[in-house]
Chain A
Amino acid sequence: MTQATTTQHNRSKSILTEQAPVVSIADRKAKNATLRGRIGLIVYVVLLLLPIYWLVNMSFKTNTEILSGLSFFPQDFTFANYAKIFGDPTWYMGYVNSIFYVSMNMVISLVVALPAAYAFSRYKFVGDKHMFFWLLSNRMAPPAVFLLPFFQLYSSVGLFDTHIAVALAHCLFNVPLAVWILEGFMSGVPREIDETAYIDGYTFPRFFVKIFIPLIRSGIGVTAFFCFMFSWVELLLARTLTSVEAKPIAAIMTRTVSASGMDWGLLAAAGVLTILPGMLVIYFVRNHVAKGFALGRV
């Protein structure tokens, strides 16, 4: 019986192979569609990356070349712009300052937002929904509104021109966002896991650190990324609340404008270096961000 079916099977197979190869219309259509899609994407990406390419391009050119006309590649390739930034503490300290207060802000935002988000996701209390929305509405206010109060307050308590001043000011915008994002991730963890942990004998802090935080790892990654992004690009508060000691790179970049004109090459090099940390961070959290998007919270 088995043999019979096998031979039958073989026969039908041989019939199939003997036939001339058929390329179906559907196959051809699918191939064309992929090709079109690829071309479309390439055009899109080129358009998207053009300004960034131009910035990189400029950063390797001399000022004379930049001002002399259109060139797609540096004719007179130079590292001088970068050398200037890395050789001058008043320049590179700008990066150090920025990274410093941004990291501080990330840490503060997460430490504050984690328990808050946990409370919003797990407990019911009077006005919880209103408070949750109110938190988010904080983000709707333009930073400029808070400029004067912050400046006055920090000056009077001696926080002016410190890293923590900027980090705290940015918390006003980042903590609500962090709570919002984290709450989404936390609500995705079934409450029964918390209960099981208590039944097993976990204390709350131990459960939170050992079980819960690993479960919302991607949420924390995404939150850190968004805190970083806001704090890194925010200029107004950072510039106003600092003068020398904690001056951010974006404020230092304005030094390229002088009486003798703009130092285009230097500005471009500084710009390229400003993009790099963001690219690094994005590289590390790219998978988690996708998850955040799927949750609809980002």
Chain B
Amino acid sequence: MSLTLQNVSRVVDGETWINEVNLSLEPGSFNVLLGRTLSGKTTLMRLMAGLDRPSKGKILMNGVDVTGVPVRDRNISMVYQQFINYPNLTVYENIASPLRLAKMSDSEIDRRVRETAEMLRIDPFLDRLPLQLSGGQQQRTAMARALVKDSQIILFDEPLVNLDYKLREELRQELRALFKARNCIAVYATTEPNEALALGGNTAVLHEGRLLQMGPTSQVYHQPKDIITAEMFSEPPINVVPGHVSNDEVTFDDTVHFRLNNDLRSLSPGNYQFGVRASHIGLVPHSDDDLELPVRVDLAEISGSETFLHVHNPHFDLVLHLSGVHEYQVDQNIKVYFPTHKLYAFDAQGQMVHSPARMREQ
């Protein structure tokens, strides 16, 4: 069972919410839709589900056009960001509801409901009403209802956003395990790059209704096609520094320049935007060709055992992601080390023209 979107657009009140998306999802795959709020993740999912109709384009399931087929006649499940259950039915009946409508025998329903509930560890609460449960348990109930039937597509629309951190980690791991055994298409929308990385599988990056890049998660992470994807798929966002490449040198500004190394040799002279991940800049040099950069501290954001150090020099701002606690005064002058062999280069249109050699191998 594969799902294919062909040139799918959705226009609402003259505003384009989804713009010419082409996408193909394979059975047994776990797909993450990554994008900021308003990037069109939910809209795209609703189109996949058949809750909304695309203004243009086709949706194929197994090669069969299902564009106008109502959601009831497609075999899908969906879990929303809000905890959506039928408040007037018990947890048991909530989970059983799709099976009851499929006219399954009572014994089969009972077996499946108990099995799924056990899997999601809500079996002690089957007789309660959803509102008598905690948020995590409510969302598990919604998930159980989505998983109990053998749907071909399971859509998760930021299901863990409204849960606390600990629960989120826990459920995320469980989810991955649950899907390993299934041969259905799972689609999971999230705004968090780290969540996409943790979930693995494939990642599709959405921005302003457009699909920027789709591929195996690590590939998208290490080989972002353009600057927006690179910015979106890193937390904190990748640092972007404008620079100029001449025949033998890279110049960031009058004072900062370095010789073209082997890695960057292939770049033709011209103006580029250089991207460097926040975690790659260090306070001590890691290799001989690291560039020493005098900067001024704007803010040291200490979150637990990590520090996000915001610094600037006269021409650009940088964010450093450091492990450990590093305290600095505002406006303190320090030196940071810039890894010249870990640079991404983007051309004037924002397309990636170079990625670090080390990353290309992965």
Contact = CB atoms under 8 A, between A and B. Distances in A.
Interface string A9-38: 000000000000000000000000000000
B82 A203 contact: no
A195 B145 contact: no
A200 B101 contact: yes
B84 interface: yes
A275 interface: no
B3 interface: no
Given A190-B82, A195-B78, A200 B97 contact: yes
B84 A202 contact: no
Interface in B50-98: 51, 70-72, 76-78, 80, 82, 84-89, 97-98
Interface residues of A, number: 15
Interface in A199-226: 199-203, 211, 214-215
A119 B12 CA distance: 20
A54 interface: no
A5 interface: no
Nearest to A204: B72
Contacts of B86: 193, 196-197, 211, 215
Interface string A207-251: 000010011000000000000000000000000000000000000
Contact of B71 (A190, A199, A214): A199
Contacts of A203: 72
A146 interface: no
Contacts of A195: 51, 71, 78
Main secondary structure of the interface of A (DSSP, over half): helix
Contact of B102 (A198, A201, A215): A201
A214 B142 CA distance: 19
B76 A199 contact: yes
Contact of B72 (A192, A193, A202, A214): A202
A190 B89 CA distance: 16
B345 interface: no
A107 to B, nearest CB: 23
Nearest to A124: B13
B155 to A, nearest CB: 9
Given A190-B82, A192-B80, A201-B102, A211 B71 contact: no
B62 to A, nearest CB: 19
Most buried by B among A190, A195, A200, A201: A200
Interface residues of B, number: 22
Contacts of A197: 86, 97
Interface string B133-151: 0000000001001000000
A239 B76 CA distance: 58
B173 to A, nearest CB: 25
A196 B87 contact: no
Contact of B145 (A190, A198, A200, A211): A200
A201 B72 contact: yes
A211 B71 CA distance: 18
Contacts of B102: 201
B76 A215 contact: no
B185 interface: no
A200 B98 contact: yes
B160 interface: no
A60 B214 CA distance: 85
Contacts of A211: 86, 88-89
B116 to A, nearest CB: 14
Contacts of B318: none
B70 A192 contact: no
A190 B138 CA distance: 15
A190 B76 CA distance: 20
B101 A198 contact: no
A200 B71 CA distance: 9
A198 B84 contact: no
Nearest to B145: A200
Nearest to B13: A124
Interface in A33-69: none
A236 B170 CA distance: 67
B129 to A, nearest CB: 12
A206 to B, nearest CB: 8
A192 B71 contact: no
Given A193-B86, A211-B88, A199 B78 contact: yes
B78 A196 contact: yes
A192 B84 contact: yes
B80 A201 contact: no
B49 interface: yes
A202 B101 contact: yes
A192 B46 CA distance: 11
Contacts of B71: 195, 198-199
6 smallest beta-carbon distances between A and B, as pairs: A201-B101, A200-B98, A214-B88, A192-B84, A198-B71, A192-B80
Given A198-B71, A211-B86, 15 more contacts: A196-B86, A196-B145, A198-B51, A198-B72, A199-B49, A199-B71, A199-B98, A200-B98, A200-B101, A201-B101, A201-B102, A202-B72, A203-B72, A211-B88, A215-B86
